[in-house]
Amino acid sequence: NAGVTQTPKFQVLKTGQSMTLQCAQDMNHNSMYWYRQDPGMGLRLIYYSASEGTTDKGEVPNGYNVSRLNKREFSLRLESAAPSQTSVYFCASSGRRVGEKLFFGSGTQLSVL
């Protein structure tokens, strides 16, 4: 069972470049999330999708866009990367109930120079 798969694992960008982080889950979950994790800040929610076709802003959405392509896939796009977006990004999925267990991908280490 693959669970939550996110790519790439590592990425280095120059300021102003764009990229898309891909995430797919095979657990038939309705909800999918993108978090970023910075030292001393814990996990902060960037965007959230409760179901296919819906997306919602989280705590730190500025500078990001998302697409819920279908029930399995949820992508995160940085249109013009900034050094402040250097972070570890995690995709996660869960069932429909509030607070249900999150299953995380393995993370993407992104550096913006």
Partner 1 sequence: QKEVEQNSGPLSVPEGAIASLNCTYSDRGSQSFFWYRQYSGKSPELIMSIYSNGDKEDGRFTAQLNKASQYVSLLIRDSQPSDSATYLCAAPLMTTDSWGKLQFGAGTQVVVTP
Per CB under 8 A, residues contacting partner 1 are 33, 35, 40-45, 48, 58-59, 90, 98-99, 101-102, 104-107
Question: Considering the complex, what minimum distance in angstroms separates the CB of residue 33 from partner 1?
Answer: 8
For partner 1, the closer of residues 48 and 64 by Cβ is 48
Within 13 A of 9's CA, how many CA atoms are on the CB side? 1
d(CA 23, CA 68): 10
Give the helix/strand (H/E) hosting 48: strand 42-49
For partner 1, the closer of residues 87 and 105 by Cβ is 105
